[in-house]
C-alpha cells in the first residue's frame, strides 16, 4: 500500500484516508469517503538498442555475439578469474550461459558467427530500465580462449537516435593455455574441441598476447599467419532506437 | 559527453588553465598475462621536464631503468626539477594482472604525469607514459599505456642476468618460466631511439632454440597497462 500511495493519492483505503489525504496536502475533509479506483497501469517504457559488431581481423571469425543488459555485476574483470559462463564462451564460442546469467535482465544473441570483414547487428530491448549497462561478448574462434567485447558500458546518457562506438581489444580468458594445438581450437582452422572444464593457464582475464602460429616458429600450432591479429579486433556501434 | 566537457573546458580556459596544486590518486594495472613490471616511477613534473620522448634517444638514466630496472637515476632527475614523485608504489614487481595505487600531491607547476617501469622478460622494454596533462577539472580519467623499446640494446631475448647498461641480455624472467641456452634472436640493435616495442619473439624450447622467452607466454599486444587517475 505504501508504495502505491506515494504514486497516487486517489488510490487509498478508507481507513487510511485521513492520514493519506493530509499527507498529500489535498483536501482534509475527513467526512469524505474516497472512491477506490485504481489508476490505469502506466504504459511500459521500452528502451531498445541496436548493437553492431564489425570483425576487424584477418582470419578470426567471431562466435555468435552475446548482447546483454544488466544493472549489476560484470561479464569479466581484468586480473580476476573468469566465470564458468565466460570460460564456456571464450573456449568454445557457446554464449548460452552468458545469456542466462543471473544478473542479466535482457539478452539477445547473433544467429551465426561473424566472419572477418563482416558485421552483425543485434537488437536488445528492456522495459522500464533507463540506466542498464550493456555488455557484449564473442570468441575469436581460431584461438584457445581469446574473446572480445565490452563490459558494463553505462547507457543512461544515450538519447533516442544517438550512437556511440568504440574499438574493442582482444582478451584472454586465462582458462586454457595458448597451446594452439589442433585438438584445442574449435574454429574452422582446426575443428578441435572448444570448452574444456580443466583450467591449465594463469586463471585470470588479461589482454591477449596474440597467436604465435607455426609460421612464426611454433611448429605444433595448427594456426598460420592468416590467424594473427592485433588490437583492435572489433568495432562496436551502439544506437539507441527507442 | 566528452565533447561537451571539452567545450566547457575551453570556455573556462581563462580560469582553469592556470597552474594549480592538486591531489591525485593513480591506479596502475598490468594488463598483460605474462609480463612483469619492475619498480615503477610515477612522477608529476612541469611541462619543461620529461623522462622520455618517443622518437628521441634514451637518456642514460632511462637506459638504466629499461635495461636493468634501476629507477634511481630518473628519480634523482625528477627530484632535481622539483617534481612530485612516487617511487616503487607496488613495493617490487607488479605481476601480470595485478594493480597498484599511489597518490601525489602536486605543486602548482607540476601539471604533467609520467610513469615508467621495465617490462620483464625483455632486453630494454618498458611501460611508459610521457607527460600526460593532468586535468584541472576534478574527475576520473583512464589512460592506456603502450610498451616501448628504449632502443639501447639488441633484443637477443637471452636470460643471462645482464641488466647493467650496455650489458646484453635479460636480467630475469620473474615468472620462473624462462628458458636457457638460446642462441639469441639477434645481436643487432635496430632503431636507436625510443619506439613502440616490436614485442618478444620467443620460442617453445625451454633449453636451446633462438630465444629464452616463451612465445606462448611472453608475448604481448598493446596496451600493456591501464592507468586510472582521479583528480580530487
Question: Strand A104-109 and strand A66-70: pairing?
Answer: antiparallel
Q: Does B217 sit within 8 Å of A207, measured CB to CB?
A: no
Cβ <8 Å between A78 and B223: no
Q: Is residue B123 part of a domain?
A: yes
β pairing state of A234-240 and A163-168: antiparallel
State pLDDT tens for residues B113-138: 999 999 999 999 999 999 999 999 99
B13, part of any domain: no
> Mind listing the pLDDT tens digit for each residue in B153-189?
999 999 999 999 999 999 999 999 999 999 999 999 9
Select from B203, B221, B224 the Cβ nearest to the Cβ of A210.
Answer: B221
pLDDT at residue B73 above 70? yes
How many angstroms separate the CA atoms of A162 and A22, rounded? 44
Give residues 126 to 155 of B whose Cβ lies within 8 Å of A.
none
Whether residue B7 lies inside any domain: the answer is no
Q: Convert the pLDDT of each residue in A2-28 to its tens digit.
A: 333 333 334 334 444 434 434 444 444
Ranges assigned E (strand) in chain A: 46-55, 66-70, 104-109, 119-127, 133-139, 146-154, 163-168, 171-172, 206-207, 234-240
- Residue B157 forms part of a structural domain: yes
Tell me if the bond preceding B53 is cis, omega within 30° of 0. no
| Digit-coded pLDDT (tens) for A199-215 | 999 999 999 999 999 99
Residue B217 neighbours by CB under 8 Å, 6+ apart: A178, A209, B33, B34, B175, B177, B202
CATH number at residue B26: 2.60.40.2130
Considering only CB atoms, A202 lies closest to which of B96, B202, B215, namely B96
Contact between chains at B99 and A204 (C-beta distance less than 8 A): no
Number of domains in chain B: 1
- Please indicate if any CB of chain B lies within 8 Å of the CB of A41: no
The answer for residues whose C-beta is within 8 angstroms of residue B81's C-beta and 6 or more apart is B45, B46, B48, B49
Q: How far, in Å, CA of B112 to CA of B130, rounded?
A: 8
Strand order in the sheet with A234-240: A119-127, A46-55, A234-240, A163-168
A79 contacts B99? CB cut-off 8 A: yes
Look at residue B15 and tell me if it is in a domain.
no
What is the C-alpha separation between A55 and A120, in angstroms, rounded?
A: 9
Q: Is residue B4 one of the residues assigned to a domain?
A: no
Parent domain of B81: 20-232
Of B32, B199, B217, the CB nearest to A207: B32
Cβ-Cβ contacts under 8 Å, A169 against chain B: 221, 223
Q: Are residues B43 and B85 in contact, defined by beta-carbon separation less than 8 angstroms? A: yes
B204 with A220: Cβ contact below 8 A: yes
Size of interface A-B (CB pairs under 8 A): 76
pLDDT for the residue numbered A217: 94
Task: Quote the CA–CA distance of A211 and B35 in Å, as a whole number.
Answer: 16
Q: A206 vs B221: CB contact, 8 Å cut-off? A: no
Residue A177, chain B, CB below 8 Å: the answer is yes
Closest approach of B49 to chain A, Cα-based (Å): 31
Domain boundaries, given as residue ranges, for chain A: 1-42, 46-240
Closest Cα in chain A to B1: A157
Architecture of domain A46-240: Sandwich (2.60)
Amino acid at each position: 500500500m505504501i508504495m502505491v500511495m506515494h504514486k497516487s493519492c486517489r488510490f487509498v483505503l478508507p481507513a487510511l484516508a485521513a492520514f493519506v489525504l493530509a499527507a498529500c496536502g489535498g483536501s482534509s475533509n475527513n467526512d469524505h469517503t474516497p472512491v477506490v479506483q485504481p489508476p490505469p497501469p502506466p504504459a511500459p517504457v521500452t528502451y531498445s538498442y541496436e548493437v553492431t559488431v564489425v570483425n576487424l581481423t584477418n582470419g578470426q571469425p567471431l562466435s555468435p555475439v552475446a548482447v546483454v543488459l544488466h544493472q549489476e555485476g560484470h561479464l569479466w574483470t581484468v586480473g580476476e578469474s573468469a566465470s564458468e559462463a565466460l570460460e564456456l564462451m571464450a573456449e568454445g564460442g557457446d554464449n548460452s550461459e552468458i545469456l542466462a546469467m543471473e544478473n542479466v535482465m535482457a539478452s539477445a544473441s547473433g544467429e551465426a558467427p561473424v566472419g572477418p570483414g563482416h558485421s552483425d547487428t543485434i537488437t536488445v530491448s528492456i522495459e522500464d530500465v533507463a540506466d542498464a549497462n550493456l555488455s557484449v561478448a564473442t570468441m575469436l574462434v581460431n584461438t584457445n580462449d581469446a574473446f572480445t567485447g565490452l563490459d558494463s558500458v553505462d547507457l543512461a546518457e544515450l538519447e533516442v537516435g544517438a550512437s556511440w562506438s568504440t574499438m574493442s581489444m582482444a582478451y584472454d580468458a586465462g582458462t586454457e593455455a595458448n597451446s594452439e594445438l589442433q585438438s584445442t581450437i574449435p574454429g574452422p582452422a582446426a575443428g578441435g574441441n572448444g570448452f574444456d572444464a580443466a583450467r591449465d593457464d594463469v586463471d585470470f582475464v588479461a589482454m591477449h598476447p596474440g597467436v604465435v602460429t607455426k609460421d612464426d616458429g611454433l611448429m605444433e600450432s595448427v594456426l598460420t599467419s592468416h590467424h594473427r591479429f592485433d588490437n583492435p579486433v572489433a568495432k562496436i556501434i551502439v544506437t539507441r532506437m527507442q | 559527453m566528452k565533447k561537451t566537457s571539452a567545450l566547457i573546458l575551453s570556455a573556462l580556459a581563462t580560469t582553469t588553465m592556470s597552474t594549480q596544486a592538486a591531489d591525485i590518486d593513480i591506479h596502475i594495472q598490468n594488463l598483460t598475462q605474462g609480463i612483469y613490471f619492475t619498480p615503477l616511477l610515477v612522477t608529476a613534473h612541469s611541462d619543461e621536464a620529461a623522462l622520455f620522448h618517443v622518437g628521441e634517444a634514451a637518456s642514460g638514466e632511462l637506459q638504466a631503468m629499461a635495461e636493468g630496472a634501476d629507477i634511481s637515476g630518473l628519480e634523482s632527475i625528477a627530484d632535481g626539477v622539483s617534481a612530485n614523485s612516487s617511487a616503487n608504489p607496488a613495493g617490487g614487481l607488479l605481476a601480470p594482472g595485478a594493480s597498484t595505487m599511489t597518490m601525489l600531491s602536486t605543486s602548482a607547476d607540476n601539471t604533467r604525469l609520467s610513469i615508467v617501469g621495465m617490462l620483464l622478460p625483455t632486453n630494454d622494454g618498458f611501460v611508459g607514459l610521457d607527460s600526460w596533462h593532468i586535468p584541472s577539472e576534478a574527475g576520473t580519467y583512464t589512460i592506456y599505456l603502450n610498451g616501448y623499446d628504449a632502443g639501447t640494446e639488441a633484443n637477443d631475448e637471452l636470460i643471462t642476468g645482464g641488466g647493467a647498461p650496455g650489458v646484453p641480455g635479460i636480467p630475469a624472467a620473474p615468472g620462473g618460466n624462462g628458458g636457457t641456452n638460446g642462441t639469441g634472436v639477434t645481436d643487432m640493435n635496430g632503431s636507436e631511439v625510443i619506439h613502440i616495442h616490436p614485442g618478444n619473439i620467443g620460442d617453445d624450447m625451454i633449453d636451446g632454440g633462438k630465444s629464452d622467452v616463451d612465445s606462448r607466454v611472453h608475448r604481448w599486444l598493446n596496451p600493456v597497462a591501464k592507468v586510472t587517475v582521479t583528480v580530487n
